């Protein structure tokens, strides 16, 4: 059995005035994680949910926050009781994370340029996912940016098992159905391969 499916609605697309209620709604609809961008959102939401918070924090000098080089940073993060993931922006080669993928809990392949929601999915990033899946069959591989019912099949066929989606979940007539559909593609294309 391969990596398990994890659906992580991006709270960036939620109604910020009702963040706690939106978090509960997503968990009730079957979300495994809640994807957050930014430390202030984590601080605000943590006291209102027990859900796993999947935090995408862009840090240009991580050694200021946790001592050590990349491999040692992962060790320090683990010692602090947290999971460690590494993000790969569209212009960055996947080869840069391969030396650390065996230690990391998750590798995130950005399928849009980081910074704002509502961008179009970049299918040209999927070979990075495929490379990681071939080399690390049990690694959690996350994709973030522009994921929808229109491209979930190709994303999961490439090997993504952790899906971040904001607009396509929060704007859907039935967010629960979108979450369920995403999960079914992960189960079909990644977990049961």
Cα distances from 32 to residues 52, 84, 91, 101, 106, in angstroms, run 7, 17, 29, 22, 15
Q: Which two tokens mark 148?
A: 């929808």
Residue among 32, 37, 54, 140 flagged as catalytic: 37
* Burial class of residue 185, CB neighbours in 10 A (0-12, 13-18, 19+): buried
Beta strands in the chain (DSSP E): 6-9, 33-37, 52-56, 85-88, 106-110, 140-144, 162-165
- Beta pairing partners, 106: 85, 140
Radius of gyration of the chain (CA): 16
CA distance linking residue 73 with residue 81, whole number of Å? 13
* Burial class of residue 30, CB neighbours in 10 A (0-12, 13-18, 19+): middle
Residue among 15, 69, 144, 153 flagged as catalytic: 144
CB 73 within 8 A of CB 84: yes
144 is catalytic: yes
Catalytic residues: 37, 144
């Amino acid at each position: 059995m391969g990596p398990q499916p994890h659906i992580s609605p991006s709270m960036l697309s939620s109604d910020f005035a009702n963040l706690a209620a939106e978090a509960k709604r997503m968990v009730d609809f079957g979300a495994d994680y809640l994807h957050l961008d930014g430390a202030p959102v984590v601080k605000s939401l943590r006291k209102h949910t027990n859900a796993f918070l999947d935090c995408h924090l862009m840090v240009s000098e991580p050694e200021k926050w946790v001592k050590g080089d990349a491999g040692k940073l992962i060790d320090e993060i683990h010692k602090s009781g947290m999971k460690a993931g590494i993000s790969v922006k569209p212009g960055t080669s996947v080869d840069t994370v391969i030396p650390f993928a065996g230690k990391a809990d998750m590798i995130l392949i950005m399928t849009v340029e980081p910074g704002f929601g509502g961008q179009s999915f970049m299918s040209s990033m999927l070979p990075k996912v495929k490379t990681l899946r071939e080399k690390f069959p049990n690694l959690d591989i996350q994709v973030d940016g522009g994921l929808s019912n229109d491209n979930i099949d190709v994303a999961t066929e490439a090997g993504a098992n952790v899906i971040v989606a904001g607009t396509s979940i929060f704007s859907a007539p039935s967010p629960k159905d979108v979450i369920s559909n995403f999960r079914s593609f992960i189960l079909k294309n990644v977990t049961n391969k």
